[in-house]
Structure 1
Amino acid sequence: MNTQLNDPASTWTAWSEFNRTDRRFPFEGGLIAWIEAAVAAHPDRPAVYAGGVALTYRELDERSDRVSDFLRRSGVEPGSIVAVTAGRTVHPYVGLLAVLKSGCGYVPVDVSDPVSRLEFILEDAGVVAVLAASDEPGRLDWLPDGIAVRGVLDSGDDNDNDGDGSGGRRWTGTLRPVAGGPGPRRPAVPYDPERTCYIIYTSGTTGRPKGVRISEHSLLNFVHWFVSRHEVLAADRLCQNAPLTFDPSVQQIFPAWVTGACLLALPPAELQDPFAMLGWLRRERITHLDVVTAHWHHLREAADQDPALRDLPDLRWIIIGGETLHYHHTRHWHGIMRSPALLNNIYGPTEATVNATEVVVDPAADSGQIPIGVPLPNYRMYVVDGEGALCAPGATGELLIAGDGLAQRYQSAAATEAAFTELALPGGAVERVYRSGDLARLIDIPSHGWMLEFQGRVDSQVKIRGFRIELEEVEGAAKSCPQVRDAAVLVRGTPPDQLLCCFVADGDHDPAVVRAHVSRLLSAYQVPNLYLRVDGFPLTRNGKLDRAGLAALAEEQLGARVPAGRLPESPVEKQLAEVWASVLGLTHIGAEEDFFTIGGTSLLAMTVVKRLRAQGLRLDPATVFECPTVARLAAHCAAAAL
């Protein structure tokens, strides 16, 4: 699509003013030179703390040099793609920095993902080497023979067991920390703004994940903005809570490392429990928190319930995004919290290097939807109608993203051609743009000027708990299950927090079979929480799926469902079941039914705990995971009361 803008001059003037974002950043030397300057300035400051282990900048630098040297000696050439397993220890941080020092790009992988998904990512990304944490090689025995370079990011003595480098299914290197001084210094890799720094895989409409390639220039532009906007200093402590396979991890890791700040990985228990997380943020003196909107709401509600958790004196910035945010919620936060933290509401897909727009929330504003704001430095945004013409202010259309933050491409040529296109501008200029699939409009806000307001989606993509999910990919996985004739995935909850898979199947097909099949094909965040067998799908007059009709049918069937096993009997069981039913949107709950097989999620577990605490039952989300049935949770409550 090469679209010519034929809009009135006033419309073009508004967009020109809105997109005046040019800003010069010092890119000389590149990302690694910037990080190494921080190492030289702060060698003994903590660089990363994860899994109970801390590494100083000197240790991070030396260990990553050692791994970089291993990759070089193993024949991994600059420009290659190296997979790094994404556990919550210090090992993957060493690995990804080593990959970048080698002039290569990293692709983070989660070894708990289905093997079929991992195999696809490794082949699609053209991975030539894999770096795994010391407890993970056994889970990667299936690696194809073509990947001959396999390094173990270990902890222990100074023994460097490289093996014979023969490949096959052997792990060819055990990469241990340095006890007697740094290892061989790698040759310097010249700065190349076009080299790929990382590939992140997102959900795809074709049933396959899409690999997004981000260049060093785009990453540097983004990091410069983040550091300057959020005033990141060497004494700061940044929370790292996003999985490394999720692109917000980029804006948590690199702003810390280029400034000499400390990156602290949030422990899993605190990640699941908003009460515990607020306590951790205070104890660890976190200065910068990046969190998805749904998770922030749980923190706000936890602070609302427990006044003792409202003191966060060190927290200066909360970067929040992923879903629509409203002023009455942020006003409430500022009203109850004893913290200087400002909220920056951000928007952006993976294809735009994490984020593309921002607006710092006015603490005094108390009503209405918060806009997604203005473009970041050297980004430009446009809204076009169905014909590709630029929309006048106030009109809703598809949001296009341009500028320095744009991804290089997808791994798939077909996906690249469909999503990355050109927009012809007045005067003959042409912009390379990404079609976001998001709807937005340009509005003029008094005292703020032009800003973008999010208006929804144009396709089947949704965001659940901050993760971008293509419903077509999930539906494709369900339809591939034997005996399933058709499947459709719906979203439940406001904001959306559940995926419901409705399916038509031959015979008496158990929903648990469909769940197990889908779980073998998709990442955990994509797997629907609830499965419902229906006799058939309602259709529109045009013969297409009537999603509104299917949603009504599904709610009718869920309301009439007969719980498996016995019903709750004791007063505590009935109390628990009532809260579960309310949170899960069900009418009845069986005493032996598993919370996580009837629609429960980790965030919904937080909601359950908050409501039960308000009723006097002192629980935490970890207990719901340990006791996922009403009967077991009631027994736990009874034992705790003794």
Structure 2
Amino acid sequence: MTDRTDDRTLYDWFTRSADRFPDAPALEVGDRTLTYRQLHDCATGVAARILAAHGRPPRRIALLASRSLTAFAGYLAALRLGAVVTPLNPAYPARRNLGVYELAGAEVLLTDEAGSAQLPDFAEQLERSRHTGLTLPDDEAAAYGGTAATLPAPPAPDTAPDDIAYVLFTSGSTGRPKGVPIRHRNLSPYIARNIARFEVGPGCRVSHTFDLTFDPSVFDLFVTWGGGATLVAPGRTELLTPVDYLVERGISHWFSVPSLVSVAAGLGNLPTGLATGLRYGIFIGEQLTYRQAAAWQEVAPNAVIENVYGPTELTVACTEFRLPADPDDWPATSNGTVPIGPVYDFLDTLILDEDGRPAAEGELCVRGSQRFDGYLNPADDTGRFLSFDGERATPYDGRHPLTAAHYYRTGDRVRHEDGALVHLGRLDNQVKVRGYRIELGEIEAAMRRHPAMREAVVVAVPGDGGTELVGCYTGEELKATAAMLWLRRHIPVHMVPRRLVHLAELPLNPNGKIDRPALRQRFGTAAPAA
């Protein structure tokens, strides 16, 4: 195995630690603790079981499992066989999981006990295509670690850095999920940078808040295992009381979406000053507000708070911003959110205005080693990349092959403020109301400044006179007229939402992000204004 990080595969990152720290704890899941040696043997045994059931090394494996030994060992087993992994979420509808399975071109469906409930929905597809469906309860998966020698040994993996490691699926504007293939060479620079930046090594204990279908889980698994640390998998209900999880499980590195902080606070489950052993609190997936950052600092007063950003297409994260320890030194931003950047120094970046010219504010576009090579369906590439001639960018039209020179268009609007990048919102969160072009993020920032509003989301919905704005907020319930008058003193009148709705909590999607489509659907029927 080479020591060059850019030549390592995901499986190399794990086995390198298994060779160096065989007796160190690699995984805590349920009531089990597995050392690196034990997890390696378990994964090898599961790989042998898959090979025996399928009859040949599969090229692509779908993993319908979550927060179980089968999920973690199954992921490693797929890599051990040189297969491309596509995680499926047992909490998603079976129909969607089946559609993703088919789009991924998987040949094997591996499930844990929770995922096996959806097997009847896959039966026809598995039989018609002569694919393999295999359910492994955790007890059976653990046993394979001790019986691997009785099964035919899997061939040595011959995976190359240019091979695809996994395919994740994001929501597409057409309603058809878009497959994002990520190669091992895209992952290595990310893993190496984050192991170094967050000082991940033996003795560290890393959280696991993300489902495998959400790419920050790659940090959970492979930054942890690449550094020789311990992945501490919670039960799903443990995340409703995150401070108990931090303290009782001795977590040193926390990684989550910011909404998890707000949800716990709303439930009264965010006691302060207890998580003194936490070293890093890392957040990703949506804007981190200063209110959330301050709440987390009270939870874990000794922890560094870091805000990171990146779409799946740029391999988990491509920016990083570390807050100073003293809140008095926290930089003020125009929208009350923690900066996201700079972008990693080994990646190339452009910020482009609506005309495709470089600007201080505009769409963030990135290329470099972490940029993926295009969607599973090449038709999805059109318009998502661009070329740049030094003065102006040209959107990719799909008529010529993509090259490393093309930038990926994130669809996110950013601005340089005091030397740091601030995330201003999605470009598709810009709407036109009564002729005015409005940034929904600007209204949300104003609402969050109200002392009684804890979280705020604004959605645009059809109304009697065209598009209207609905402002949803948590915190103290306010009289709508008084709240609107307050907003009129902070933003132009045409930006004040026509409706303000108090919610006990904001809905979250399976990845833990605020579910804006659910809010649009819920409030999409016109109602009288306050």
Question: What aligned pairs does 1:435-474 form with structure 2 within 5 A after superposition?
Answer: 435-443=409-417, 445=418, 450-459=419-428
* 1:119 and 2:95 aligned: no
Q: Is the 8 A contact 1:348 1:355 kept in 2?
A: yes
**What amino acid does structure 1 have at the position aligned with 2:238?**
E
Q: Displacement, 1:296?
A: 2.7
* 1:196 and 2:164 aligned: yes
Change (3 A) 1:499 1:102: farther
Q: Displacement, 1:262?
A: 0.9
1:531-561: CA deviations, max 9, x gaps? xxxxx84354xxxxx133xx389xxxxx99x
1:351-373: CA deviations, max 9, x gaps? 11111100111122246232211
**What amino acid does structure 1 have at the position aligned with 2:324?**
D
> How much identity, in percent, do the aligned residues show?
27
Q: Displacement, 1:112?
A: 3.3
Q: Which runs of 5+ in 2 are unaligned?
A: 394-402, 432-452, 473-478, 481-499, 513-530
Q: Displacement, 1:328?
A: 6.0
SS of 1:325's equivalent in the other structure is coil
**What amino acid does structure 2 have at the position aligned with 1:151?**
L
Q: Is the 8 A contact 1:47 1:261 kept in 2?
A: yes
Question: What aligned pairs does 1:64-143 form with structure 2 within 5 A after superposition?
Answer: 64-73=43-52, 74-77=54-57, 80-143=59-122
Q: Partners in 1 of 2:207 and 2:411 — Cα distance?
A: 30
Question: What aligned pairs does 1:55-454 form with structure 2 within 5 A after superposition?
Answer: 55-73=34-52, 74-77=54-57, 80-143=59-122, 144=125, 145=127, 146=129, 148-156=131-139, 176-180=143-147, 182=149, 183-272=151-240, 276-298=241-263, 306-307=271-272, 310-327=273-290, 330-331=293-294, 333-334=296-297, 336-337=298-299, 339-364=301-326, 365-366=329-330, 368-369=332-333, 370-391=338-359, 395-425=360-390, 431-443=405-417, 445=418, 450-454=419-423
Q: Which residue of 1 aligns with 2:19?
A: 40
Q: Partners in 2 of 1:42 and 1:408 — Cα distance?
A: 34
Change (3 A) 1:53 1:357: same
**What amino acid does structure 2 have at the position aligned with 1:235?**
G
Q: Displacement, 1:133?
A: 0.9
Q: Is the 8 A contact 2:10 2:165 kept in 1?
A: no
Q: Displacement, 1:190?
A: 2.6
SS of 1:127's equivalent in the other structure is coil
Change (3 A) 1:461 1:138: farther
Q: Displacement, 1:430?
A: 7.3
Q: Displacement, 1:285?
A: 0.8
**What amino acid does structure 1 have at the position aligned with 2:258?**
T
SS of 2:321's equivalent in the other structure is strand
Q: Displacement, 1:459?
A: 1.2
Q: Is the 8 A contact 1:384 1:390 kept in 2?
A: yes
Change (3 A) 1:299 1:111: closer
Corresponding residue pairs, total: 441
Change (3 A) 1:290 1:45: same
Q: Partners in 2 of 1:427 and 1:411 — Cα distance?
A: 28
**What amino acid does structure 1 have at the position aligned with 2:183?**
S
Q: Partners in 2 of 1:181 and 1:457 — Cα distance?
A: 49
**What amino acid does structure 2 have at the position aligned with 1:419?**
R
Q: CA RMSD in A?
A: 3.5
**TM value normalised by structure 2:** 0.74
Q: Which runs of 5+ in 1 are unaligned?
A: 1-23, 158-173, 463-492, 503-535, 541-545, 554-558, 561-582, 587-594, 607-642
SS of 1:232's equivalent in the other structure is coil
Q: Partners in 2 of 1:422 and 1:147 — Cα distance?
A: 43
Q: Is the 8 A contact 2:347 2:366 kept in 1?
A: yes
Q: Partners in 1 of 2:193 and 2:33 — Cα distance?
A: 27
Change (3 A) 1:268 1:328: closer
Q: Partners in 1 of 2:292 and 2:61 — Cα distance?
A: 42
Q: Which has the larger radius of gyration?
A: 1
Q: Partners in 2 of 1:266 and 1:585 — Cα distance?
A: 31
Q: Is the 8 A contact 1:296 1:320 kept in 2?
A: no
Q: Displacement, 1:147?
A: 5.0
**What amino acid does structure 2 have at the position aligned with 1:585?**
H
1:400-435: CA deviations, max 9, x gaps? 121111123222222122313333347999732111
**What amino acid does structure 2 have at the position aligned with 1:547?**
E
Q: Partners in 2 of 1:141 and 1:421 — Cα distance?
A: 43
Q: Displacement, 1:26?
A: 2.4
**What amino acid does structure 2 have at the position aligned with 1:125?**
A
Q: Partners in 2 of 1:333 and 1:137 — Cα distance?
A: 37
Q: Partners in 1 of 2:362 and 2:175 — Cα distance?
A: 26
Q: Displacement, 1:314?
A: 2.0
Q: Is the 8 A contact 1:318 1:343 kept in 2?
A: yes
**TM value normalised by structure 1:** 0.62
Q: Partners in 2 of 1:427 and 1:585 — Cα distance?
A: 44
Q: Which of 559, 567, 585 pairs up with 2:502?
A: 585
Q: Partners in 1 of 2:169 and 2:413 — Cα distance?
A: 23
